[in-house]
């Protein structure tokens, strides 16, 4: 769990430090966002390729190597003296971190027999579910109290401890030692890097340039489509593909892959939405915004042990359905936002969303690989985590776009309804009189209308966030019938551990 926790934590911990990083290197905020993008692209490229490397060099050895690369790159990120240096270090860090999740998950799933995988995934899930919540809180605190550099240095002791623990206790199963993965598919990896990179750039920058109205976006979409088609053709025709896509013929894996992509979009959408709301609308600092959403980790911590026990006794499909339903309920509850809320007004639905995440993550992971052979789990874990990350990127992009577009719609509607309202006119006159008593008549009118404009923007923004939260609830509801497509997984008698 340690390398997974470290890797997932780092995907979110740097986000709150971006303004400080930009200031240190005299860069714009847009330029600083490449600190996140370079990491995500390199991370996504290595994810599906991790199975080949683990078969070629040994899973345990490759995992230790990736942790060492990730930890060393974290030090370089913290010690960076220029924007170019930190972008290079983040790309290396993303490449090292890309394999951490699938390798850790594959080792865990193979170590335990099917009837104990639910309990094992509950422990593993603490790292995946709690880390994105802890990231903004810890990153905000380290940035405000010390320096943004400590958001990267924090990985060093965790990485050292993880290497020592894995060296002591993790062993490769026999089939890994006997594996002959064949020649490396460099063409497939190159095509994978092109389409994933194009996708990430479009998602990161598309909203700023109005999507298809920008020429570069249309070209990027063409490159994305062409490289994706070429990648799929290559993987189906190559003798030794970098990714074995035939695994999607397995019904449970295909359904699980679709659901984890949708769930990744929803959960990361909410993780991105609430801190932004607290900071942009209510004016919270990065630390206070992270603190306000941190109770989600409490819900996950409380639910994970319970789900671990229930997954071995109940049909996991009903646990997943209950989790999606609870997530939809909590999103609708959070959708009752107003400007009058306090920092802790949403604590109950935030805790419930954390509990719902635990109810979905553990049984979904167990069911997705439940009908696969142990030899297929390494490849499956890489694809599964890739789909979750792609879903998360798409979810965050969609959330940002919806907030921006719906803010404009609601502002136009609110402004239209303000005209010819006697109460509004009276309020402006009273505000002008109050301001005139302090600054004089000349500035009173412009300042009164500026205050009205600010209130209008705030109200339009909060309506936009309400819309987004309700869309997320609807997405969870639409996922419910998909869960029933799973084939029920039954424990195998006499199942033994692979390690």
Helix (H, G, I), strand (E, B) or coil at 113: coil
Pair 397, 203: CB distance under 8 Å? yes
Question: Is pLDDT of 171 > 70?
Answer: yes
- Can you tell me the mean pLDDT for 441-458? 82
Residue 496 scores a pLDDT above 50: no
Tell me the mean pLDDT in the region 379-389: 89
Assess whether pLDDT exceeds 50 at residue 481. Answer: yes
Angstrom distances, CA of residue 27 to CA of 17, 88, 202: 13, 16, 21
C-alpha 87/C-alpha 80 separation (Å) is 9
pLDDT at 420 over 70: no
CA distance 361 to 359: 6
Average pLDDT across the chain, whole number: 86
| Homologous superfamily in CATH for domain 1-180 | MFS general substrate transporter like domains (1.20.1250.20)
Q: Which position has the higher pLDDT, 34 or 386? A: 386
* In the predicted structure, residue 86 carries a pLDDT above the cut 70: yes
Of the chain, the percentage scoring pLDDT greater than 70 comes to 95
The average pLDDT across 183-204 equals: 90
pLDDT for 273: 79
Q: Mind listing the pLDDT tens digit for each residue in 209-247?
A: 888 999 999 999 999 999 999 999 999 998 889 889 999
Residues 6+ apart with CB under 8 A from 5: 126, 127, 128, 130, 131, 158
- Rounded to an integer, what distance in angstroms lies between the CA atom of residue 71 and that of residue 446? 54
What Å distances lie between residue 112 and 57, 106, 163, 166, CA to CA? Answer: 23, 10, 21, 16
Q: How confident is the model at residue 29 (pLDDT cuts 50, 70, 90)?
A: low
Looking up tokens 């997932």, which residue turns up?
8
pLDDT at 15: 67
Q: Evaluate the CA torsion angle 336, 339, 343, 344 in order and state its sign.
A: negative
- pLDDT-derived band at 314, boundaries 50, 70, 90: confident
Token look-up 């490229």 returns 45
Looking at residue 497, its pLDDT comes to 33
464 vs 18, which has greater pLDDT?
464
- pLDDT category at 30 given cuts 50, 70, 90 is low
* Residues 297 and 104: beta-carbon distance below 8 Å: no
Q: From 288, 390, 339, 309, select the one nearest 48 (Cα to Cα).
A: 390
CA atoms of 321 and 480, how far apart (whole Å): 6
Helix H segments across 238-342? Answer: 251-280, 286-293, 295-310, 316-334
> Which pLDDT value is given to residue 220?
94
> How is the chain split into domains, by residue range?
1-180, 185-241
The pLDDT of residue 434 is 83
pLDDT above 80: residue 267: yes
Which of the four pLDDT bands, split at 50, 70 and 90, describes residue 77?
very high
pLDDT at position 137 is: 74
- pLDDT at position 226 is 97
Spatial CA neighbour of 191 closest among 146, 131, 241: 241
Other residues' Cβ atoms within 10 Å of the Cβ of residue 27: 18
Share of the chain above pLDDT 90, in %: 38
Q: What is the pLDDT of residue 419?
A: 65
Read off the pTM: 0.85
């Amino acid at each position: 769990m340690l390398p997974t926790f470290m890797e997932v934590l780092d995907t979110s911990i740097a986000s709150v430090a971006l303004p400080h990083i930009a200031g240190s290197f005299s860069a714009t905020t847009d330029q600083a966002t490449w600190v996140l993008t370079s990491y995500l692209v390199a991370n996504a490229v290595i994810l599906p390729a991790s199975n080949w490397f683990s078969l070629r060099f040994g899973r345990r050895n490759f995992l230790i190597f990736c942790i060492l690369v990730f930890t060393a790159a974290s030090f370089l990120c913290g010690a960076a003296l220029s924007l170019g240096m930190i972008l290079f270090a983040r790309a290396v860090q993303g490449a090292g971190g890309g394999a951490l999740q699938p390798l850790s998950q594959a080792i865990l799933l193979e170590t335990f027999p099917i009837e104990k995988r639910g309990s094992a995934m509950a422990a593993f899930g603490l790292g995946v579910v709690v880390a994105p919540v802890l990231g903004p809180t810890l990153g905000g605190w380290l940035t405000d109290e010390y320096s943004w550099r400590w958001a990267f240095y924090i990985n060093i002791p965790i990485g050292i401890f993880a290497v020592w623990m894995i060296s002591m206790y993790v062993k490769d199963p026999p089939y890994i030692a006997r594996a002959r993965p064949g020649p490396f598919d460099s063409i497939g990896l190159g095509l994978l890097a092109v389409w994933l990179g194009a996708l990430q750039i479009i998602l990161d920058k598309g909203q700023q340039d109005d999507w298809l109205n920008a020429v570069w976006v249309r070209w990027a979409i063409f490159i994305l489509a062409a490289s994706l088609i070429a990648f799929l053709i290559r993987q189906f025709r190559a003798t030794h593909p970098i990714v074995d896509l035939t695994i999607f013929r397995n019904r449970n894996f295909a359904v699980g892959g679709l659901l984890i992509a949708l769930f990744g979009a929803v959960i990361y959408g909410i993780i991105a939405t609430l801190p932004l709301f607290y900071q942009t609308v209510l004016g919270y600092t990065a630390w206070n915004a992270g603190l306000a959403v941190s109770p989600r980790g409490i819900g996950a911590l409380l639910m994970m042990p319970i789900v671990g026990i229930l997954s071995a006794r109940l049909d996991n499909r009903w646990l997943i359905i209950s989790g999606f339903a609870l997530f939809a309920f909590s999103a609708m509850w959070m959708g009752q936002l107003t400007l009058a809320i306090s920092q802790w007004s949403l604590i109950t639905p935030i805790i419930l969303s954390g509990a719902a995440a635990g109810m979905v993550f553990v049984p979904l992971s167990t069911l997705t690989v439940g009908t696969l052979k142990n030899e297929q789990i390494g490849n499956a874990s890489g694809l599964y985590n890739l789909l979750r990350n792609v879903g998360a990127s798409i979810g965050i992009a969609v959330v940002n776009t919806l907030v921006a577009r719906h803010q404009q719609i609601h502002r136009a509607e609110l402004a239209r309804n303000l005209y010819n309202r006697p109460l509004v006119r009276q309020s402006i006159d009273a505000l002008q009189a109050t301001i005139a008593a302090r600054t004089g008549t000349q500035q009173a009118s412009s300042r009164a209308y500026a205050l009205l404009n600010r209130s209008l923007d705030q109200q339009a923004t909060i309506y936009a966030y309400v819309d987004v939260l309700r869309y997320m609830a609807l997405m969870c509801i639409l996922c419910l019938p998909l869960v029933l497509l799973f084939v029920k997984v039954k424990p195998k008698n006499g199942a033994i551990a692979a390690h």
